[in-house]
Amino acid sequence: SAPQRSVYDDLGGQAGIEQLVEDLLVRVSDDPRIAPLFIGVDIVNLHSRLSEHLCAEAGGPCVYAGKNMVDAHAHVDINAAHFNALVENLVETMEARGVPRSAQNRLLARLAPMQRDVVGASRAGGR
């Protein structure tokens, strides 16, 4: 049988991922639940790092060269509601771009375990 399409392919490869991340960041900046957490952030850097990270997680030919998830979020006070809001924005973005449900779910399954590091980051030391 044919090999399963990678999540990377279903996201539209490099170009699709870069567009997805751009759409996601626009959506996030429009969401009052989490937009305040992104004030003052270098969005150009975030766009490239996040694209690279998602590409690698989706099985694409990328090497993530950014910070680990604890260090990246150590100065951002993120709670579980913030995390869920970001996931909601990601799902809406993928849905709007016509990403197949199976690929959405496979990507979310890769990201879910990172909640521990992202939400716990600003409380590091107390974990």
By CB under 6 A, name the binding residues for ligand HEM. 34, 37-38, 41-42, 45-46, 49-50, 53, 66-67, 72-73, 76, 78, 82-83, 86, 111, 114, 118
Closest CA to 87 of 43, 123, 119, 127: 119
By C-beta, is 3 or 113 nearer to ligand HEM?
Answer: 113
Q: CA-CA distances (angstroms) from residue 50 to 12, 30, 46, 85, 125?
A: 16, 18, 6, 17, 25
Closest CA to 7 of 52, 69, 56: 56
From the CB of 82, what's the least distance to ligand HEM, in Å? Answer: 4
From the CB of 16, what's the least distance to ligand HEM, in Å? Answer: 17
By C-beta, is 37 or 62 nearer to ligand HEM?
Answer: 37
From the CB of 53, what's the least distance to ligand HEM, in Å? Answer: 4
Instruction: Say if CB 93 and CB 27 are below 8 A apart.
Output: yes
